[in-house]
Amino acid sequence: MSIEDVLIAISEQVGGLNIKSVVLSNVPPFIKEKTLKEILERYGKLTAPIKMIPLGLKNPNFKHVMSFRRFTYMIPNSQNELLNLVLKIAVEGKDYTIFVTSDNMRCFLCSEYGHQKQACPKQQSANNSAGSQTSPKINVQENNVGVKENNAAVQEKNEDVQENNASLYSTREISAFLDETKGVRNPQFDLFFPDLKRFLVSCRAVMINATVEELSRQKRYCLKKIITKVKKMIHQDMKKSSC
């Protein structure tokens, strides 16, 4: 059991622990994890190692190539605020600017915040009812998120992508994804959104419901391209599974 799992277990018993996912952007590969850890510990307690994020190239020969972004999990000193830091690190007499942002840690199994998939309290109940073919109903509540599936508006003609009473990814999550992958030619969508069908429906809902202030015209243009790519990926997966 990892340190993070222990902290999550304690959080469920006593409450109060607000574990957040933290993304570090614009980090040169030669900056050591130890250096980043020492800086981040000024702002809270790290609960996981700092890991590199793959660049997401399609060519399998370059899957090992990492991006200039890294991620970890931590409990900030100010638990009610999200981190939004601009750090300057001097290496061999040269300054490097690093951006640090955080969000509440989210479980991609039940879509609730505060724990990961492997520590999801609903996973155990799902395993106990493995003999049943119907999935348990999931009720998800989020603050300041009003995007929900509209049975008529978010479906396109001749598409077989549906949501089974599950909450969609929020406008803020999709907007943050667009910010983090800006300039990345072929980002790994499933690294951020493991459920691609749900991500596709969420993108359509955001395009319909989000205001210009929430999602700029430039981001909408990028999102249209992403929707096309994700649709192709889903169709390819369907063909593979049918073979």
pLDDT digit string (tens) for 25-69? 999 889 999 999 999 999 889 988 999 888 777 788 887 888 888
* Residue 105: band (very low, low, confident or very high) from pLDDT cuts 50, 70, 90: low
Cβ neighbors of 229 (< 8 A, separation 6 or more) are 189
Q: HSE on the CB side for 75, CA within 13 Å?
A: 14
Task: Report the pLDDT value the prediction gives residue 37, as an integer from 0 to 100.
Answer: 92
Percent of the chain residues topping a pLDDT of 70: 65
Is 203:227 a contact under the CB 8 Å cutoff?
yes
d(C-alpha 85, C-alpha 202), whole Å: 28
Q: Which helix (H) or strand (E) holds 93?
A: none
Sketch the domain layout of the chain as residue ranges.
3-104, 137-242
d(C-alpha 49, C-alpha 72), whole Å: 6
SS3 of residue 22 by DSSP? strand
Task: Report the pLDDT value the prediction gives residue 143, as an integer from 0 to 100.
Answer: 40
The pTM (predicted TM-score) of the whole model is 0.41
* Residue 158: band (very low, low, confident or very high) from pLDDT cuts 50, 70, 90: very low
Confidence check: pLDDT of 1 > 60: no
CATH fold for domain 3-104: Alpha-Beta Plaits (3.30.70)
DSSP 170: P
164 vs 57, which has greater pLDDT?
57
* Residue 13: band (very low, low, confident or very high) from pLDDT cuts 50, 70, 90: very low
Task: Report the pLDDT value the prediction gives residue 63, as an integer from 0 to 100.
Answer: 79
Task: Report the pLDDT value the prediction gives residue 84, as an integer from 0 to 100.
Answer: 83
Main-chain phi, psi angles of 57, to 5 degrees: -75, 145
Cβ neighbors of 49 (< 8 A, separation 6 or more) are 33, 72
d(C-alpha 7, C-alpha 13), whole Å: 10
28 vs 146, which has greater pLDDT?
28
Angle at 107 between CA 143 and CA 230, to 5 degrees: 95
Task: Report the pLDDT value the prediction gives residue 36, as an integer from 0 to 100.
Answer: 92
pLDDT in tens, 204-235: 888 888 887 788 888 888 888 889 988 888 88
Q: In which residue are the tokens 């942002």 written?
A: 101
Cβ neighbors of 167 (< 8 A, separation 6 or more) are 111, 138, 140, 142, 145, 148
Q: In which residue are the tokens 């991006």 written?
A: 67
Task: Report the pLDDT value the prediction gives residue 163, as an integer from 0 to 100.
Answer: 39
Helix 217-242 vs helix 171-180: crossing angle, to nearest 10: 90
* Residue 107: band (very low, low, confident or very high) from pLDDT cuts 50, 70, 90: low
Confidence check: pLDDT of 139 > 70: no
In whole numbers, what is the pLDDT of the chain averaged over residues?
73
Range name among 33-37, 40-44, 120-124, 129-133 with the lowest pLDDT average? 129-133
